[in-house]
Amino acid sequence: EAGVAQSPRYKIIEKRQSVAFWCNPISGHATLYWYQQILGQGPKLLIQFQNNGVVDDSQLPKDRFSAERLKGVDSTLKIQPAKLEDSAVYLCASSLDNQGRSGNTIYFGEGSWLTVV
Amino acid sequence: AQTVTQSQPEMSVQEAETVTLSCTYDTSESDYYLFWYKQPPSRQMILVIRQEAYKQQNATENRFSVNFQKAAKSFSLKISDSQLGDAAMYFCAQFTGTASKLTFGTGTRLQVTL
């Protein structure tokens, strides 16, 4: 079974530029998450999708971050314009649950490393 | 609010020995799940073990086991017969139905020495 796929793995951009990350979850997984992990910290949830609807985006800096999950499968996370403090690993994750219940294990991709200079 | 606390920023263990990583959590819900994830330098989060709160029996996966103390809201991870490949960051995480998301602790860096 293929895991969660993310690209690109590494990206270096200048501040005020834009960047987009792509995620393909495990086949059949209804729930998709984007986490931000700053060096030395635990991951922090940015946005959660249930199929193609947003369940939680309370910690997404909406003035510069946006995300979509068209057709309820792949997802894209965009940052525009980027700031130095956006340097982090962006982890995409997915789980099987399609009814919003707790308990399904969440599987993570390898992450996309972003460095803003 | 759901909180997860890992009070040990770093731990060290000798190869073949046993080490225990600590974690405490806070929730008012009765339906929740607890996880330990391993994160090597590649930064991928790898599931180590999972515990359902309604189960009294402690989860075990080969050399990894947990000590789940529900009343104390404690969820420690024991690694037996430590191997060099166990060296990584370990994150404790909690999932509740209301929040419907994983909340992570700050992590414990485990070093394994010869």
Q: Average of pLDDT values for B66-91? A: 96
pLDDT (tens, 9 = 90+) of chain A, 117 residues, equals: 679 999 999 999 999 999 999 999 999 999 999 999 998 889 999 999 988 899 899 999 999 999 999 888 999 999 999 999 999 999 999 988 755 455 678 899 999 999 999
Query: B36 touching A, CB under 8 A?
Result: no
Those residues with Cβ within 8 angstroms of residue A50's Cβ, 6 or more apart along the chain or in another chain: A30, A31, A98, A100
Q: Average of pLDDT values for B70-83? A: 96
Please count the residues of chain B.
114
Q: In which band, very low, low, confident or very high, does the pLDDT at B96 lie, cut at 50, 70 and 90? A: confident
Query: B46 touching A, CB under 8 A?
Result: yes
Q: Average of pLDDT values for B90-96? A: 92
Residues in chain B within 8 Å Cβ distance of A93: 45, 102
Residues in chain B within 8 Å Cβ distance of A30: none
In DSSP terms, which residues pair with B106 in a beta bridge? Answer: none
Q: Each residue of B3-58: pLDDT tens digit?
A: 999 999 999 999 999 999 999 999 888 888 999 999 998 888 999 999 988 888 99
User: What are the structure tokens assigned to A30, written together?
Assistant: 């209804």
Give dist(CA B6, CA A110) in Å, integer: 23
| Alpha-carbon distance A111 to nearest alpha carbon in chain B (angstroms) | 6
In DSSP terms, which residues pair with B47 in a beta bridge? Answer: B37
Q: Name which of A57, A23, A33, A58 is nearest B93 in CA terms.
A: A33
What per-residue confidence (pLDDT) applies to A102?
54
Q: Which of B39-43, B51-55, B97-101, B102-106 has the lowest mean pLDDT?
A: B97-101
Residue listed under structure tokens 């370990």: B90
Q: In which band, very low, low, confident or very high, does the pLDDT at B64 lie, cut at 50, 70 and 90? A: very high
Q: Name which of A4, A12, A53 is nearest A29 in CA terms.
A: A4
Spell out the SS3 assignment of chain B.
CCEEECCCCEEEEECCCCEEECCEEECCCCCEEEEEEEECCCCCCEEEEEEECCCCCCCEECCEEEEEECCCCEEEEEECCCCHHHCEEEEEEEEECCCCCEEECCCEEEEEEC
What per-residue confidence (pLDDT) applies to A100?
47
Selecting from A48, A102, A108 the residue whose C-beta is nearest the C-beta of B45 gives A108
Does B100 contact A109 at a Cβ distance shorter than 8 Å? no
What per-residue confidence (pLDDT) applies to B99?
66
